[in-house]
Amino acid sequence: MTPQHTHPALPPGVTTLADHERHARGVLDEASWAYLFGAAADELTFARNIEAWRALELLPRVLKPLAGGHTRVELLGRTFAHPILVAPMAHQRLAHPDGEHATALAAAALGAGLVFSTQASAPLDEIAARFLPEPGRGPLWFQLYLQPDRGFTAELVQRAEAAGFEALVLTVDAPVQGARDSERRSGFRLPAGIGAVNLTGLRHPPPRTLAAGQSALFDDLLTHAPGWDDVAWLRSITRLPVLLKGVLHPDDARQAVACGASGLIVSNHGGRTLDTAITTANALPRIAQAVQGDLPLLVDGGIRRGTDVLKAIGLGASAVLVGRPVLHGLATAGATGVAHVLRLLRDELEIAMALTGCRTLAEATTVLAPTGR
């Protein structure tokens, strides 16, 4: 008989998302922790993301009819059980040997959507094959960084389509990597055997010869940075919906509507790119006002409780993406840990809905207390 791989039970005392974080901190080495969980510069945006959701207050209603309530949400023409998706995160095998396979297994079983990273440490077709057969699964989307080699980018998109991915999520807020001090301080390097396997064969343009006084950033690297024309090109080569991830400015949101984007993810990259950028809780209502319902909005950054999910929906999001807590759960107990994190968030969302008088997510706009005193 072939032995079956089993996932460990949760360690004693792991009850909340914060417990998962504390346990993960104890099992990962310093360099892996710095890469997976570090943020840019002084990590202010990272911390403020969390605090911004906490600062929003709920104004509950009582004695409302709640029987038959649900957390269902519609995204891109399909209805899903709840509005929680796993954010795209690179190199998950740093957190646990099962990496993206464990995350996909747990997300599919819990009905959560999965946004799979270009820089994943597992092949995209294997993850799709693991995720798609689950009958109660959420959406399966492929996160994309546009590469200077358009031919390779087109091939990658075709591979994602063939594997069964249902949308493309184009990250637009990282033409360069942020100044991640903790990562540099730790001396992080990818260990042997872990890499961006879906980018194998990618050809990088040779560095330019720079004249005296020229910038290696502005006069070389950023000459390949994508622009709005590249969004139009991407839409022209795929039959899949294209969402833009990393939009914080209302003018960019309006431009995205004009260029035919199918959705926006309000994101500051979890504070990993530009420190002191606006928090996503504060950016979301401004983006919602700018697009006026012309396309669905999702949001990530700092979601740590089911109440945060409800607040995000109340501010105009259709769904949320959760990143670091999923990796905390993965490091704690593999697929079991990820499933526990997702289950906690959904359970807490249902509790928050019941205690604020929301029978459905459509009523979430009524539960936020007015700001100011």
Residues with active-site annotation = 269
Token couple for 218: 């502005």
> What is the distance between the alpha carbons of residues 269 and 300, in angstroms, rounded to a whole number?
8
For β-strands 167-171 and 242-245, DSSP reports them as parallel
Torsional class of 43: left (φ above 0), alpha (ψ -120 to 50), beta (otherwise): left
> What is the distance between the alpha carbons of residues 108 and 12, in angstroms, rounded to a whole number?
25
* DSSP assignments along 140-188, one per residue: EEEEEPPPS-HHHHHHHHHHHHHHT--EEEEE-S-SS----HHHHHHT-
C-alpha dihedral over 142, 334, 25, 341, to 10 degrees? 70
CB 253 within 8 A of CB 290: yes
263 burial (CB, 10 Å; 0-12 / 13-18 / 19+) is: buried
- Non-local CB neighbours of 139 within 8 Å, separated by 6+ positions: 75, 76, 78, 80, 85, 113, 114, 166, 167
CB atoms within 10 A of CB 201: 9
H or E element at residue 113: strand 113-116
